[in-house]
Amino acid sequence: MTDPRHPSVPAVTWRREGPVLLVTIDHPPVNALGVEVRRGLLAALDAAQADVAVQAVLLLGKGRNFIAGADIREFGQPPQAPLLTDVCNRIEACPRPVIAAVQGAAFGGGLEVVLAAHYRLAVPGAKFALPEVTLGLLPGAGGTQRAPRLIGVEAALKLMLDGKPVAARQAADLGLVDRLATGTDPQAEGLAYAHELLAAGAAVRPTRDRAIAADAVPAARQAIEAARGSLNKKHRGLFSPARIVDAVEAVLDVPFDEGLRLERSFFLQCLDTPQRAALVHAFFAEREAAKVPEAGRARPRSLERIGIVGGGTMGAGIAVAMLDAGLPVVMIERDDPSLARGQAHVAKVYDSLVQRGRLDAAERDRRLTLFSGSTDYAALAQADLVVEAVFEDMAVKSAVFAELDRVCKPGAVLASNTSYLDINALAKTVARPQDVIGLHFFSPANIMKLLEIVVPEQVADDVVATGFALAKRLKKVAVRAGVCDGFIGNRILAVYRQAADYLLADGASPYQIDQAVRHFGFPMGPFQVTDLAGGDIGWATRKRRAATRDPLLRYVPAADRLCERGWFGQKTGRGWYLYPDGARVGQEDPEVLAIVAEVRQQLGAVQRTFTEDEILRRYLAAMINEGANVVHQGIALRPLDVDVAMLYGYGFPRHRGGPLHYADQVGLDKILADIHEFAAQDPHFWKPSPLLLQLVAQGRRFQDLNQLQQD
Ligand code: 3HC
Ligand code: NAI
C-alpha cells in the first residue's frame, strides 16, 4: 500500500509490540485518508485478526497531525473502494479493542476513524473537528450517526454545523475523548493506555451500540428543531447544513445501518453540488495563492521587530495585528498629539476586545508591553520591517521613505500600505529599491484576512518571501499582486462599483441593488459598504481624479450629492441609508430616492426596471471581466489569486468560489454573451477582456490557467 507521492514508503504500516498491534498512518503531508491509506487500514485490521497474539490495536498518525480527514483531492473523482465508511465499520467491528491516540488534527474523516475506535486518547495540542460543512459536505463515514451517540445530539450538531475545532480538554469534557494524556508522545501514551485497558480486561465498545437515552430524546428533538430553525440565519443559501440536521435526526428514528445509508445518500447529494466544488476550490486556492515564484526561489528574512509609520485607522489596526502575533511594534507619528491618538487607538481596539469578552485584561496588558511609540525615526533603527501607513499622498509617503532610507538598518524591509499609489515610483525614491514592497492590509486590519503583497519591479525575491512569511505569522491569507492602480482587489472593486452606479442611473434603487447582492451571498451590498466605510473617502478620490476621468464613460454624481450634504454614512447618521440614534442597520431613505431621481433626470438616462437576476448579471459580469483583465495583464498570477482576493477582502460568498470560479460554473460563453448584450447600450464601459474572448474562442476555462509552474 504505497503512497504515490512517496512511492517507496507504505502509507500504513503495522508491527506488534507485545500484545498490541501498532498501526501507523504515514501519509505526508497530513495523513489524509486517500485510497492507499484506506486499503492500508483494512490490511492492518486483517493482520490484527490473523494474529492470535494481538490483543489490542493502537491507531497512530505519523507527523504533526493524526489524520486531516478524507483526501479532498479525491472529491469529484469516481469513488475507489474501500469507502471510508466501510473502513470505519471494520475498525468498530474489530474483535479486539481498538485505541486511537491523537496528536494534532483529527479532522473530518480523521475524527470519524476516532469515533469508530473503541477507546480514545488525546495528547496535549490535539484538536478535533468535523469541518465537512466548510467544504459543502457532511461527515460521510459514520460521523453523523456516531457523534450524536457518543456526545449527544446537541453537541454533535454544533460540532458539525460550526465545523470548528475543539481542543483536547474540551473534547474530553464533551465525551469525545476518554483519556487526556500529559505526555506528548502519542505512541508511548497510547501503548501505556492500551496496557492499562488490557490489564483491566477492557472489552470492545462499538459506538453504534450506544443509544440515545429515552429521557434525552425530547431535548434532542428540540435541539434538532432549533438547528433547523437557525439554518436560514446562520447558513443562508447553503445546501449541506440542512442535510446534516436531517442525518442527525435519523439517529433518533432509524437503526444505525439505516442511518448510515441515509448519511451516504445525503453525502452523495452534497458531493454533487456546485457549492461543494466552489468550497473545495476555495480551500485549495487559499493555499495555492501562497505559492509564488519568488517564495520558491528565496528564503524569508528574519522578522523580530516591526515599525509602523502612521497611527491612523490602518496604522493602529496593523499594529494590533502584529502585536496579536507576538511581534514587538514601534509606532512613529508626526507629532506628540498624533502619537497619543495613535496609541489611544491601539488601546481602544484592545479595550473593546476585553469589554466584549474576547480577550482577558491580563493578555491585553501583556500584548501592550510589546508596543511603544515615538516621534523620532531613530526608534526604527532596529526594525526588521517597517510598514508605512500615512496619508495617501505621494509627497508625504516619499518624505517618510526618505527618513526610512536614512535610519533603517541594511536589509530592513520597507513596506507601504498604499491603496492606489505607484509603488514602483515610491521604490525609486530610495537608495534601496530592492527592499521596498507593498503590504496592502484591509480595514479593520487586525480582523480582515486578506493581505495583498504588491510586488514592484525591483524588489528582491527574499523580500517577497518575507511578505508571505509575515502573512502566515499574522494568520492572514496572502495574494501576490502586481503594481497598477488599485492592485487586484480595489481595481476590480472600482469597476463593479461603477456597474452599480450605472444600474442606479438606469432605474434600479440602491436598496434593490444591495438586496440582490445580499441574496447572492455577499454580507452587504455596495451602497451599504460605502455607508460603513464612510462616503467621504470615495468622494475625496473622485475629486482627485475628476480631471483625469475618461470623458467617454458616464459619470453618475448621486454619491457626490449625498456627500455635499454631509451624508457620509453610519458615522454621520445618514448616507444611502438612515441610521437613527446610532443604529448599525440602515433604513431606506425616501429623500435619497428623490436625489437619485433628480440625478437620473439630469443625466437624461432612459429609465427601465431591473429584475434581481438582471442586476446580478451586470454586477458580476463587471467583476468577472475586470478580474480577467487583471489576470491578462499579469497583475494577478492566476485566476485563483483573483478569487482569493475577492473571497477574503470583499465578501464574495465562499460557497460560490470567487468570481472567476463562478464564471467557469456559469459558462464563460454566457458571461461573454451578457457583456456583448450590455455593450449594445454602453460600449465604452462594457469591453470584453481579451482573456475572456480568448478563453471562449478556445473553449477553455479560467481553471485551466490555475496551474503555475514554479521556477
Ligand atoms: N486532503 C488533501 N490534502 C490536504 C488535506 C486533505 N484533507 N488537508 C490538507 N491538505 C494539504 C493542503 O492542501 C496542503 O497541501 P500543499 O502543501 O500541497 O499546499 C498540505 O496538506 C498542508 O496543509 P496546510 O497548509 O493546511 O497545513 P497546516 O499545517 O496549516 O494545517 C490542517 C493542517 C489543520 C490539517 C489543515 O490542512 C486542514 O484543516 N485540513 C483540512 C481538514 C478538512 O477539511 N478535513 C475534512 C475533509 S472532508 C472529510 O473528511 C469527509 C469525510 O467525512 C468523508
Ligand atoms: P488616516 O488618515 O486614518 O491615518 C494616517 C495617519 O498618518 C495619521 O494618523 C497621520 O497623523 C499620520 N501621518 C501623516 N503624515 C505622517 C508623517 N509624515 N509621519 C508620521 N505619521 C504621519 O489614514 P488611513 O485610513 O489609516 O490610511 C493610511 C494609508 O493606508 C493610506 O495610504 C491609505 O490609502 C491606506 N489604506 C487605507 C485603508 C482604509 O480603509 N482606510 C485600507 C487600506 C489601505
| Pocket of ligand 1, beta carbon within 6 A | 29-30, 32, 65, 68-73, 84, 105, 107-109, 112, 131-132, 135, 137, 139-141, 143, 284, 287
Nearest ligand to the C-alpha atom of residue 374: 2
* CB 430 within 8 Å of CB 452: no
Ligand 2 atom having least distance to the Cα of 342: 9
The Cα 697–Cα 426 span in angstroms is 40
Torsion of CA 605, 609, 612, 615, to 10 degrees: -20
pLDDT mean by block of 10 residues, the chain; 711 residues: 57 97 97 97 97 98 98 92 98 98 98 98 98 98 98 98 98 97 97 98 97 94 97 93 98 97 98 97 97 96 98 96 98 98 96 95 96 98 98 95 98 96 96 98 96 98 98 98 96 97 97 98 97 91 90 95 97 96 92 97 92 98 98 98 98 98 98 98 97 98 83 43
The Cα 372–Cα 382 span in angstroms is 13
The Cα 171–Cα 161 span in angstroms is 16
The Cα 679–Cα 674 span in angstroms is 8
CA–centroid distance, residue 133 to ligand 1 (Å): 14
Ligand 1 atom having least distance to the Cα of 69: 50
Amino acid at the residue 80? Q
The Cα 513–Cα 535 span in angstroms is 17
Give the pLDDT score at 710.
Answer: 46
Ligand 2 atom having least distance to the Cα of 390: 7
Q: Domains in the chain, start-ordered, CATH in brackets?
A: 2-271 (3.90.226.10), 303-481 (3.40.50.720), 492-565+592-710 (1.10.1040.50)
| Pocket of ligand 2, beta carbon within 6 A | 309-315, 332-334, 338, 342, 389-392, 396, 399-400, 417-419, 441-443
pLDDT digits (tens, 9 = 90+) for 162-177: 999 999 999 999 999 9
CA–centroid distance, residue 449 to ligand 2 (Å): 19
pLDDT digits (tens, 9 = 90+) for 550-575: 999 999 999 999 999 999 999 999 99
Protein residue with least CA distance to atom 11, ligand 2? 338
pTM of the model: 0.95
Q: Smallest Cα–Cα separation from 102: which of 178, 13, 1?
A: 178
Nearest ligand to the C-alpha atom of residue 31: 1
CA–centroid distance, residue 30 to ligand 1 (Å): 6
Give the pLDDT score at 5.
Answer: 52
Protein residue with least CA distance to atom 53, ligand 1? 139
Q: What is the CA radius of gyration of the chain?
A: 28
Q: Smallest Cα–Cα separation from 397: which of 416, 373, 420, 374?
A: 416
Nearest ligand to the C-alpha atom of residue 104: 1
Ligand 1 atom having least distance to the Cα of 139: 53
Coil, strand or helix at 448: coil
The Cα 479–Cα 645 span in angstroms is 7
Ligand 2 atom having least distance to the Cα of 313: 26
Angle formed at CA 467 by CA 443 and CA 68, multiple of 5 degrees: 90
Give the pLDDT score at 507.
Answer: 96
Coil, strand or helix at 189: helix
Residue 569 DSSP code: B
Q: Smallest Cα–Cα separation from 199: which of 34, 78, 20?
A: 20
The Cα 158–Cα 226 span in angstroms is 11
The Cα 135–Cα 125 span in angstroms is 24
CA–centroid distance, residue 60 to ligand 1 (Å): 18
Helices within 163-303 (DSSP H only): 168-174, 186-199, 217-234, 240-253, 256-271, 274-288, 293-297
3-class SS letters over 153-185: HHHHHHHHHHCCCEEHHHHHHHCCCCEECCCCC
Joined grid coordinates for residue 161: 454545523
Q: Smallest Cα–Cα separation from 272: which of 296, 304, 246, 239?
A: 239
Protein residue with least CA distance to atom 12, ligand 2? 310
Protein residue with least CA distance to atom 35, ligand 1? 68
> Can the peptide bond before residue 7 be classed as cis, meaning omega within 30 degrees of 0?
no
The Cα 710–Cα 75 span in angstroms is 25
